[in-house]
Amino acid sequence: MLAGMTYRQIGDKLFISAKTVEHHMARMRARLGAASRADLLARLRDLVGKG
C-alpha cells in the first residue's frame, strides 16, 4: 500500500502531516537499520511474514 506513495499521500490517508510521516519513517529506518524507504518496506514485509 505504501510503496510508491509520497509522504504527503501517506499523511493524507492517515490524516496527519507529511512532516509527521517523514519523522516516523526516519525513526523506523533508524530502529530497523534500513538505509532507504525501499529497504524499510522490505524489512517490514519480512517482519510481518508477507515477504
State CA 35 to chain mean position distance: 12
End-to-end distance of the chain based on CA atoms, in angstroms? 14
What is the pLDDT at residue 2? Answer: 59
- Rounded-to-integer distance, Cα 44 and Cα 39, Å: 9
What is the pLDDT at residue 4? Answer: 84
The pTM (predicted TM-score) of the whole model is 0.77
Domain locations along the chain: 7-48
pLDDT tens series, the chain, 51 aa: 556 899 999 999 999 999 999 999 999 999 999 999 999 989 988 999 865
